[in-house]
Structure 1
């Protein structure tokens, strides 16, 4: 699938089969995530791959919007690492670019995924940091819940010319 097709057809998938995701596919997604642009090439991302059933069940309790993690075979927590920041505050932008790459890579590998935000909700951020035993210098941004889709969502055309302005508003 080419990149434009991947962008146009990727959907947020919240229902998954029980089939495990191979280490090869996990590494493919993480390589894609780490190929994202970042401010000053600081690459402030850290990733926690969660495939243990008990840990997935705990992950599902981090937010009312991550419940599907309990039934998924895999989640990847994306954290910003402030200890490597050259340009403070850009970690969120950089990690978001990495997440988008990860989502597109998952789709191209036949996987479904959904981006579940943690940041800026301080209670969710702290609970996530504690759950994965991450250092204080990190900020859990999101959990990406992944697996083989157990639902078929059709592509949507979201192009809206009313959102486009040229030269001035």
Structure 2
């Protein structure tokens, strides 16, 4: 799929068939995540892949916007290592870029995906850290439910010329 076409047609998918994605598909998504840009090329991200249905159900119970997770093909939790952050805020930006790459890659290979935020919600961050047994220096930033889509959504043109400013506000 052409990259511009992928950007303009990607939509958040929240209904899945329940079929687990293959290791080959998962590797495409992870490689895309690793290719994201990062501040000072520190690459602070770590990816926790969850396919276990019980764990997916537990995470869905704890996240108010991830109820679709047990029907997805897997969950990818993008985490950041605070020991690799030189300035506050870059870690979240870096992990967000990795998340977007994964979302676009999923769409590009015919999968559906949706980004469910974890950080900066302190309660969610704590719960997901416990569920995933994360070390103290690792922050869960976002959860991606990904799988075979069980819904179709038309592209939306979200361009808004009133939000474009040249040279000054």
Please report the TM-score for the alignment, with normalisation by the length of structure 2.
0.97
2:38 is the counterpart of 1:41 = no
Following superposition, the deviation at residue 14 of structure 1 comes to 0.1
Following superposition, the deviation at residue 85 of structure 1 comes to 2.1
Structure 1 CA distance for aligned equivalents of residues 155 and 134 of structure 2: 36
Structure 1 CA distance for aligned equivalents of residues 22 and 85 of structure 2: 32
Contact in 2 for aligned 1:40/1:87 (Cα 8 Å)? no
Q: Secondary structure at the match of 1:113?
A: strand
Q: Secondary structure at the match of 2:115?
A: strand
Q: State how 1:117-128 maps to structure 2 within 5 Å.
A: 117-128=117-128
Structure 2 CA distance for aligned equivalents of residues 73 and 16 of structure 1: 8
Q: Which runs of 5+ in 1 are unaligned?
A: none
Could you say which residue in structure 1 is the equivalent of 2:83?
Answer: 83
Tell which deviates more after alignment, 99-108 or 86-95.
Answer: 86-95
Structure 2 CA distance for aligned equivalents of residues 109 and 73 of structure 1: 14
Could you say which residue in structure 2 is the equivalent of 1:50?
Answer: 50
2:110 is the counterpart of 1:133 = no
Q: Secondary structure at the match of 2:141?
A: strand
Following superposition, the deviation at residue 19 of structure 1 comes to 1.7
2:96 is the counterpart of 1:96 = yes
Contact in 2 for aligned 1:53/1:73 (Cα 8 Å)? no
Following superposition, the deviation at residue 63 of structure 1 comes to 1.5
Contact in 2 for aligned 1:47/1:77 (Cα 8 Å)? yes
Structure 1 CA distance for aligned equivalents of residues 110 and 77 of structure 2: 20
Structure 1 CA distance for aligned equivalents of residues 76 and 142 of structure 2: 8
Structure 2 CA distance for aligned equivalents of residues 28 and 163 of structure 1: 34
Structure 2 CA distance for aligned equivalents of residues 105 and 31 of structure 1: 9
Structure 1 CA distance for aligned equivalents of residues 56 and 64 of structure 2: 14
Could you say which residue in structure 1 is the equivalent of 2:144?
Answer: 144
Structure 2 CA distance for aligned equivalents of residues 25 and 34 of structure 1: 15
- The alignment's C-alpha RMSD in Å is 0.9
Contact in 2 for aligned 1:48/1:76 (Cα 8 Å)? yes
